[in-house]
Amino acid sequence: MVTSRDVARVAGVAQSTVSYVLSGKRPTSEETRKKVEAAIGQLTYHPNAGARALASRRTRVIGLVIPFIRDLHMNSIMEFISVIATTARSHDYDILLVTEDEGADGIRRVVGQQICDGLILMQVEGEDARVPVVRDLKVPVVLIGIPQDPAGLVCIDADFEMAGRLCVHELSAAGHTRIAVLGWPAEVVKRPINYVNRFLAGVTRAARDCRVGLLELPGGTDRASVARSVRQGVDQTGPVPAFIAPDSGAQELVQQALFSQGLTPGVDVSVIGSTLAVVAERQLVPLTTIDLKPAAVSARAVEILCGLLEAAEYDVNEVLELIPPAIERRASVVGT
Amino acid sequence: MVTSRDVARVAGVAQSTVSYVLSGKRPTSEETRKKVEAAIGQLTYHPNAGARALASRRTRVIGLVIPFIRDLHMNSIMEFISVIATTARSHDYDILLVTEDEGADGIRRVVGQQICDGLILMQVEGEDARVPVVRDLKVPVVLIGIPQDPAGLVCIDADFEMAGRLCVHELSAAGHTRIAVLGWPAEVVKRPINYVNRFLAGVTRAARDCRVGLLELPGGTDRASVARSVRQGVDQTGPVPAFIAPDSGAQELVQQALFSQGLTPGVDVSVIGSTLAVVAERQLVPLTTIDLKPAAVSARAVEILCGLLEAAEYDVNEVLELIPPAIERRASVVGT
DNA sequence: GCCGATCATCGATACGTATCGACCACGCCG
DNA sequence: CGGCGTGGTCGATACGTATCGATGATCGGC
């Protein structure tokens, strides 16, 4: 194994000089720097992470607490993870996975053992068991998602309220005056997942502003219940029905239900959904969606955490940052 | 910060004794052990990972090299990652993510810096740029997937050859004598992804054994090309057509194409696919599938790697282990 | 031509754990 | 009863890096 002492010997300097060349925490002559860099290249030296962590009390590792696998949202989860890992690397941090099935102990463990310098929590819900644990942790933590009580926490999420407004404005602009909102399945609504309420609040507010009528319908994951809600929506929203169906798991089912009623999105019915672009484009009719910008949210979470980590003292200022979504117009909305 | 020295002081023993109680590498009296454990609990001591790694030259971390996001296989990727992380934890290892966009350097970096003790490579393809890099690494590496030349490597994968045979046997047993095989999209076939060839080899061999005719058709990711191949298959495989459609990305498209031809899987056409159970059950007709057991494959990869890590000397015996898949009968196969 | 200041470098030490050799107190066997 | 092995513990040291204080060299100002 090659150590900084070996590098120092080859370069003809002291070990501490090698360290200063690498960190730049003290001025170094051009000449010395070149000799050291040459030696590093020649020996293919890699600083030992354990020793570095021990001496500097920094690991340059971020713990990422990933949620259980519960449904088929998993493709978007993978996008989150991937972007987080890449962004972290661009700040010279690595990502350590912390699975939620270890529960609170897992979080306490990685922080206690000082395996990582900070944490990112994915998919934080309204009442999240992890929140009380991280609240009085002595390392910086960034939450993706907004818990019921975000006091003193650093949170980031998509702006679901704005997403709701965008949907209504788009349909209103297309001439619709009565809109059916196909909610989330009951098991999602029951756990207080904040974003559901925020989305609906945005929808409601925009509906009032635009003088548009709303019809809230229950969502579901199975064909039958989606079909039932769709039928109800078609009956009650006028000659050219309009749907907002934000649950990314139900996109196919909604379109199938409409087709079996003899309706074609973009022709005699309007639909706005929310899912990844690749999924939206694969639908029978390419779906107009709200892009919640998961990549931007995850990248920003990493940026914020890295900022806190570099700051000499992480004064835990409360942060609540919302990333504005954008509408992606495809072919599923029709003007009336 | 609480150190083992603090624990020792509280327990009234030497620091080394604390270490031995924790590792069990030397015998300890019942009494001492209790005192130490009490002190650990009282102080909530967590051994410092960096110091541990430095002294023991082991990090108890496994590097997981995850592939690019290229298609919508991502839900299965997430399943892999999740199972790998959980299984690793059950062996007291943590998982560090290594994204492939760092390329070969990323692998060399984590090994060089001794951030991890070993590696798992996901989604290894026939000609994989990572394989030459890991081949002469001095740490144990387990590949998920089989490269073109697996000599000297430790590989594990689903038994795609057997999967192919299972498909043919099932359809043959149902009375089909001519079977259409809907392949993978051209871009998948072009990169030599071994499992494609292995699957087709299994299909071919079983077809010969069962005296069944085969019709190989091009796959695709878009509606049009899938529809074209399906139409061709329907025309050329007899009164009750039979399809094998292993590409998990095309399951919906195949069913939709059949429906639009007026055919219902399980009634007047047979289809066998391969995808996650949750996806199979969501189809219009619940799909009979080959379960490639991704969870078993990933768990086994971790087990093997942990075995190599615990072994005093990792003599790099070549390993090639295939996990047998299973058929999951649902409703998409009809007897003739 | 001498003195303080600045720059570049060196030597020494600390970080917290694992592990080796040494040590003591037993008990067992001859 | 003496010596030998063994179970249980301690003290000391090594692991590789970061960082502090000290040292020597160089330079400008008077």
For A152-168, give one letter per residue: b (16+ CB within 10 A) or e: ebbbbbbbbbbbbbbbb
Q: H-type helices in chain A, by residue range?
A: 4-11, 15-23, 30-43, 49-56, 74-90, 103-112, 130-135, 160-173, 186-190, 194-210, 223-236, 251-260, 277-282, 294-310
- Do the domain assignments include residue A330? no
What CATH number is associated with residue B190?
Answer: 3.40.50.2300
Spatial separation of the C-alpha atoms in residues B160 and A244, rounded to whole Å: 42
- Do the domain assignments include residue A207? yes
Which residues does chain B have within 8 Å of residue A49's beta carbon, measured at their own beta carbons?
50, 53, 59, 113-115
Whether A150 and A199 share a structural domain = no
Q: Which two tokens stand for residue B87?
A: 């299984």
Whether A125 and A243 share a structural domain = no
Report whether A144 contacts A122 (CB < 8 A): yes
Report whether B241 contacts B264 (CB < 8 A): no
CB proximity A14–strand C (7 Å threshold)? yes
- Chain segment A260-307, per-residue pLDDT in tens: 899 999 999 999 999 888 888 878 889 999 999 999 999 999 999 999
- Indicate which of A74, A123, A285 best probes the interface with B, i.e. most B CBs within 10 Å of its own CB: A74
Spatial separation of the C-alpha atoms in residues B256 and B224, rounded to whole Å: 11
Nearest to A297 by CA among A52, A123, A62, A161: A123
CB of B101 less than 8 A from some CB of A:
yes
pLDDT of residue A74: 63
Of A59, A79, A89, the CB nearest to B50: A59
Query: How many structural domains are present in chain A?
Result: 3
CB proximity A12–strand C (7 Å threshold)? yes
- Do the domain assignments include residue A329? no
Whether B277 and B216 share a structural domain = yes
The strand C neighbours among B residues 30-49, by Cβ under 7 Å, are 45, 47-48
Whether A271 and A300 share a structural domain = no
- Do the domain assignments include residue B265? yes
Local mean pLDDT, 10-residue blocks, chain A (336 residues): 95 96 92 95 96 96 86 73 95 95 90 97 89 92 94 95 98 96 78 85 97 92 88 92 88 88 94 88 89 96 95 74 97 92
pLDDT of residue A43: 95
- Do the domain assignments include residue B330? no
Q: Which domain holds residue A233?
A: 160-292
What CATH number is associated with residue B18?
Answer: 1.10.260.40
Whether A280 and A181 share a structural domain = yes
Which residues does chain A have within 8 Å of residue B82's beta carbon, measured at their own beta carbons?
66, 69, 99
- Do the domain assignments include residue B334? no
> Helix (H, G, I), strand (E, B), or coil: what is residue A96?
strand
Confidence of residue B69 (pLDDT cuts 50, 70, 90): low
Report chain B's mean pLDDT, rounded to a whole number. 91
Report CA-CA distances (Å) from B313 to B139, B154, B155, B261: 10, 15, 19, 61
Spatial separation of the C-alpha atoms in residues B64 and B57, rounded to whole Å: 19
Whether A259 and A318 share a structural domain = no
Report CA-CA distances (Å) from A278 to A144, A160, A231, B70: 23, 21, 27, 11
Whether A128 and A242 share a structural domain = no
- Chain segment B16-64, per-residue pLDDT in tens: 999 999 999 999 999 999 999 999 999 999 999 999 999 999 999 999 9
pLDDT of residue A202: 97
- Chain segment B212-230, per-residue pLDDT in tens: 999 999 888 788 889 999 9
CB proximity B224–strand C (7 Å threshold)? no
pLDDT of residue A209: 96
Is pLDDT at B190 greater than 80 in this prediction? no
Nearest to A19 by CA among A32, B53, B28, B101: A32
Q: Which two tokens stand for residue A46?
A: 């890699």
Report whether B271 contacts B332 (CB < 8 A): yes
Contact B66 A82 (CB under 8 A): yes
Whether B139 and B37 share a structural domain = no
- Do the domain assignments include residue B331? no
What contacts A48, CB < 8 A, 6 or more positions away?
A: A1, A3, B54, B113, B114
Q: Which two tokens stand for residue B43?
A: 């102080």
